[in-house]
Amino acid sequence: MADMQIYHNPRCSKSRQTLALIEEAGITPEIVLYLDSPPSADALTGILNKLGIGARELLRKGEDAYKENKLSNKALNDEQLIAFMVKYPKLIERPIVMKGDNAILGRPPENVNILL
């Protein structure tokens, strides 16, 4: 298993740039194509813990599924929001890079330098 993982969307320029920075550092990360294989609720909870953020902060608010499911509703708790992210993985902000017990969002891609 690779020392580093990236939750990656090859269509996303920030995700591609973050992956390039990792590879330029001589690291071959485990690439998780999360749109093809969405993380479980438990996995997402672990990712949020490593990021140190709540579920709402990991949501992509511009996605249709965000609007259609009225996810701006502040009454929705983390567990409910995580369930939507599992069902609609496009809602998950990307890229997420993890190394050990640490994780960062690659927005901007240079954030990954914290883990390199």
Q: Is 78 noted as a catalytic residue in this protein?
A: no
For residue 62, what are the contacts with CB-CB under 8 A and spacing of at least 6?
none
Residue 2 pLDDT more than 90?
no
Mean pLDDT estimate for the chain: 96
> Which one is catalytic: 4, 7, 12, 84?
12
Residues paired with 6 in a beta bridge: 31, 97
> What is the value of pTM for the model shown?
0.93
Residue 112's pLDDT band (boundaries 50, 70, 90)? very high
* DSSP-derived pairing of the beta strands 102-105 and 30-32: unpaired
Residue 1's pLDDT band (boundaries 50, 70, 90)? low
Q: Residues 86, 44: contact at Cβ < 8 Å? A: yes
Query: What's the pLDDT at 7?
Result: 98
Angle, alpha carbons 78-89-93 (nearest 5°)? 70
Ordered domains of the chain (ranges, CATH): 1-34+94-116 (3.40.30.10)
8/78 Cα distance (integer angstroms): 22
Q: For the residues 52-59, what does the mean pLDDT come to?
A: 98
Residue 79 pLDDT more than 90?
yes
